[in-house]
Structure 1
Amino acid sequence: MAHPEGGLIANLVVLGSFCSITGGLGLMNSIGIYQAYISTHQLSSLSHSQISWIFGVYNFLIFFGGLQIGPIFDAKGPRVLMWIGSGLLVVMFIALGFCEKYWHFFVVLGVLGGIGTSFIFIVPVASIGHFFLRRRGAATGLAMAGGSIGGIIFPIMLEKLAPKIGFAWATRAIGLVTLVLLFIGCLLVRGRQPEPSPSPESPPEKPKPKRESIKSLLPDLNILANPLLALTTAGVFLIEWGFFIPLEYITSYALYHSVSPDLAYLMVVFFNAGSFPGRWIPGILADQVGRYNMLIYTNLLALVAVLGIWMPAQGNVAATIVFAVVFGFASGSNISLVPVCVGELCPTEAYGRYYTTVYTIVSLGALTGVPIAGEIMHRTNGEYWGLIAFAGCSYAAGLLCFLAVKLLQWRRVRNDSTC
């Protein structure tokens, strides 16, 4: 299937993906402010370790939902999936305002929010893959930058509106903005899956048996037999282990070090301000210097940010802001680069299956990373150096996996050239 690499329809798909990701992933990128808010308000009597499971399940379901969403996307296209995910997120925002107890937040934010976000995390990105190949990095990065815009707008709305109109109505106001953005996305995002025309010399194909049709919708873990894909999956698993720790603890870290609440809640905004260019600039450069090369560079920068800036910051306001911006830029690239790196290892018609198989494995890292960090903080008497070290080690291990991919690719090219 040829890729248009542009044109009105392709560009409208990018615009629709940008809008839907702004609304859908805006919650994901501002989740730290919800963690800090409910930890100091509705669930202030509970430990960080207990509360962290709400957000661990949320992160897990974002990725795990792709187990079935991807194959259905490959078979049926994005339309129905976009409407389902958008509806779940709107219902989540409405119900969130009524939450008061632990299990309320667990079901509404953790389960319902995670499942709804999963649709928007997967479908718009996979749709872009149908229209772009050579410029896929730039197109995907531009669309993913919308999540950073949502991550800037939503924390500011919550921080400004909650004291005036209450948490419930503040979340509903955010839900209204999300509704508009997702509606635009539902109208514009589309797939490109033409039916193959039968050859005049050959008879038309027989319909597939029902059992075979059902099997085609199921994920195929056999694709991990490819060592390049297996190492890529391991690397993404490890960096996602570390990624959610700064995102969800940066605000509570600032509050712990006596930063004013107004400024502490803005740490998520600084993070997303850095993430905005970090999602599309590396994507543009990746099309020129190589997708895996850029993935290595940005994860090296993230490792330096965690261990070189955040670890020695000790609550210093300027250093914490610098860390939030630098880490936001470096980690933001992962969202846009990982899909295009996976796309290099699979045919376009199976892109959704490969992409979601990777993130199904990664979901286990998303599930456990934040709770592990919460338990580490509990064991270190509420201090943050332990979870910072854990995040840094996760990025270091993930970086080694990506370097191994490059080594294998280099060896294959060298062997092919000598044949």
Structure 2
Amino acid sequence: MSIDLKGSTPGLPPAVIDDESRINNESHNIDTSERDDESCAYPEGGLAAWLVVLGSFFGTVVAFGMMNTVGIFHQYLSEHQLKDYNESTIGWIFSVYVFLSFFCGIQIGPIFDAHGPRLLILAGSVLMCASMLLLGLCTKYWQFMITFGILGGIGTSLIFTPALSAVSHFFLVKRGNATGIAAAGGSVGGIIFPLSLQRLFPLVGFAWATRIIGFMFITCCCIATGLIRSRLPGKEGGSVLPDLGILRDRSYALLTVGIYMMEWALFIPITYLTSFAASTGVLPPEFSYQILAIFNAGSCLGRLAAGFIADRLGRFNSMIAALALCTATTLSLWLPTSLLTPDPTSASSKAVIEALCIVYALIFGFASGSNISLTPVCVGQLCDTNEYGRYYATCYTIVSFGTLTGIPIAGSLITASGGHYWGVVVWTFICYVLSLGCFVWSRAERVGWKLGVKF
């Protein structure tokens, strides 16, 4: 087995790729005898394996949990330290953070292959903890950019790329389930951190609130560093470089565009749901923090369910269904809420807006939980296993630039519409429609337009 392809994924790593590859080996003319022999050598459980999953869970609590909490920091900074800056300018801090979180994984993967996860996670832990502990000292824009955007982004990638990749050393047949449990830590962090910050900001202030979160990071990172380890021997020389020539494959090119549009849209609700709730003027301030926790509760369920459903319906089919649900909820729930004119004196107006926000956050969170976890599998279905690293690196080198620009574009739309959010909602909807269309077309290029085909 080519381990260098396992560690090179900046999003959810190809921990579930092999199971899908086995299903499609016949169509790709891959000999499965070697893989079947290898599956016997994988522990598929036991104390050591599940301790690695536990360590990865705590690692993603910090890494993905931070990513799922950017909306809270965006809202607070826009009202306090950076209140003199417009939405788009503030958004660049968080877009740089997300961009580095994904883009750096392409380079971190080969290092994991050669040297294992311990030093990478230790370095990421130092950066993440330093980022959060220093955040309370920041007062200027450039300080937030360096501390949160750059240090936090690189630290996030250094933690979650090897943390989730290490799970693949211990599981093959049960890899999807084990990785789903580990990745769910990010949603748990996305519930804990917003609710904690809701209480801490008014109680102890911004500086000590971020320090307390930093102490939580230290605890989780110590557990992750102590428990996560590799099982397979290191492999030097694993280099995964983008290759634009493979975009001549129409199905793969369409998939790349589809993932680009999806990532363009995904982080807009994550970042702006909090500020949107606050902007209505009829919802209590604490609700704007709780809405992100509700979103992450739905996302936690979505991540756990994604692999289970995809195994039965097909990876592309499940991804298309999830994108359709994201599109439908954005149009039917978030858009009407953004167009309503709230009446501060009307209890019914408040109840309608609050109900729409909660239902949207929960359903969209559930649907979008698979947006990151299933995309590596979809890429893996379009290539042989020994080409996966090249295909994934090419795809996410392009896609990562979508994560860099999506949040500032949304901020510009809010500014252009006079502080209203309907423009952001329409932009999110359009991106999801285009993503859905590209996924459907990409699937049709391989298996035709018949709905009943499992793919």
How high is the TM-score relative to the length of structure 1? Answer: 0.88
* 1:305 Cα deviation from its structure 2 partner: 1.2
Q: Does 1:279 align with 2:318?
A: no
Q: Is contact 2:254–2:442 with CA below 8 Å preserved after alignment?
A: yes
Q: Is the alpha carbon distance of 1:397 and 1:275 closer, same or farther for their aligned partners in structure 2, counting shifts above 3 Å?
A: same
**Secondary structure in 2 aligned to 1:166?**
helix
Q: Is the alpha carbon distance of 1:304 and 1:411 closer, same or farther for their aligned partners in structure 2, counting shifts above 3 Å?
A: closer
* Mean Cα deviation higher: 380-389 or 396-405: 396-405
Q: Is contact 2:240–2:389 with CA below 8 Å preserved after alignment?
A: no
Partner residue in 2 for 1:97: 136
* 1:94 Cα deviation from its structure 2 partner: 1.0
Runs of 5+ unmatched residues, structure 2: 2-37, 341-352, 451-455
Question: 2-side partners of 1:288 and 1:224: how far apart?
Answer: 29
* Mean Cα deviation higher: 125-134 or 274-283: 125-134
Q: Is the alpha carbon distance of 1:133 and 1:404 closer, same or farther for their aligned partners in structure 2, counting shifts above 3 Å?
A: farther
* 1:5 Cα deviation from its structure 2 partner: 6.9
Question: 1-side partners of 2:242 and 2:50: how far apart?
Answer: 31
* 1:328 Cα deviation from its structure 2 partner: 0.7
Q: Does 1:308 align with 2:332?
A: yes
Which residue, out of 227, 232, 235, partners 2:258? 235
Q: Does 1:334 align with 2:357?
A: no
**Secondary structure in 1 aligned to 2:366?**
helix
Question: 1-side partners of 2:433 and 2:266: how far apart?
Answer: 12
Partner residue in 2 for 1:321: 358
Q: Is the alpha carbon distance of 1:396 and 1:155 closer, same or farther for their aligned partners in structure 2, counting shifts above 3 Å?
A: same
Letter paired with 2:265? G
Partner residue in 1 for 2:226: 187
Q: Residue deviations 1:274-325, cap 9 Å, x none?
A: 1110111122221222222211111111111111110012361110111111
Q: Is the alpha carbon distance of 1:343 and 1:81 closer, same or farther for their aligned partners in structure 2, counting shifts above 3 Å?
A: farther
Which residue, out of 267, 274, 297, partners 2:291? 267
Q: Does 1:400 align with 2:423?
A: no
Partner residue in 2 for 1:389: 426
* 1:343 Cα deviation from its structure 2 partner: 4.0
Q: Is the alpha carbon distance of 1:189 and 1:343 closer, same or farther for their aligned partners in structure 2, counting shifts above 3 Å?
A: farther
Q: Is contact 1:342–1:354 with CA below 8 Å preserved after alignment?
A: yes
Question: 2-side partners of 1:232 and 1:135: how far apart?
Answer: 26
**Secondary structure in 2 aligned to 1:10?**
helix
Q: 1:137-286 residue pairs with structure 2 within 5 A?
A: 137-194=176-233, 213=237, 216-217=238-239, 219-221=241-243, 224-225=246-247, 226-258=249-281, 259-286=283-310
Q: Is contact 2:44–2:173 with CA below 8 Å preserved after alignment?
A: no
Q: Is the alpha carbon distance of 1:78 and 1:33 closer, same or farther for their aligned partners in structure 2, counting shifts above 3 Å?
A: same
* 1:143 Cα deviation from its structure 2 partner: 1.5
> How many equivalent residue pairs?
396
**Secondary structure in 2 aligned to 1:383?**
coil
Partner residue in 2 for 1:297: 321
Question: 2-side partners of 1:139 and 1:387: how far apart?
Answer: 36
Partner residue in 2 for 1:205: none
Identity of aligned residues (%): 46
Question: 2-side partners of 1:57 and 1:171: how far apart?
Answer: 20
* Mean Cα deviation higher: 71-80 or 323-332: 71-80
Letter paired with 1:283? G
**Secondary structure in 2 aligned to 1:266?**
helix
Question: 2-side partners of 1:77 and 1:386: how far apart?
Answer: 45
* 1:192 Cα deviation from its structure 2 partner: 4.1
Question: 2-side partners of 1:350 and 1:172: how far apart?
Answer: 44
Q: Is the alpha carbon distance of 1:111 and 1:274 closer, same or farther for their aligned partners in structure 2, counting shifts above 3 Å?
A: same
Letter paired with 2:164? V
Q: Does 1:362 align with 2:386?
A: no
* 1:155 Cα deviation from its structure 2 partner: 0.7
Question: 2-side partners of 1:111 and 1:285: how far apart?
Answer: 36
Q: Is the alpha carbon distance of 1:41 and 1:302 closer, same or farther for their aligned partners in structure 2, counting shifts above 3 Å?
A: same
Q: Residue deviations 1:208-248, cap 9 Å, x none?
A: 9xxxx4xx435232584454443333222111100111111
Q: Is the alpha carbon distance of 1:229 and 1:192 closer, same or farther for their aligned partners in structure 2, counting shifts above 3 Å?
A: farther
* Mean Cα deviation higher: 328-337 or 344-353: 344-353
Partner residue in 1 for 2:155: 116
Question: 2-side partners of 1:317 and 1:283: how far apart?
Answer: 31
Q: Is contact 1:71–1:219 with CA below 8 Å preserved after alignment?
A: no
Letter paired with 1:244? F
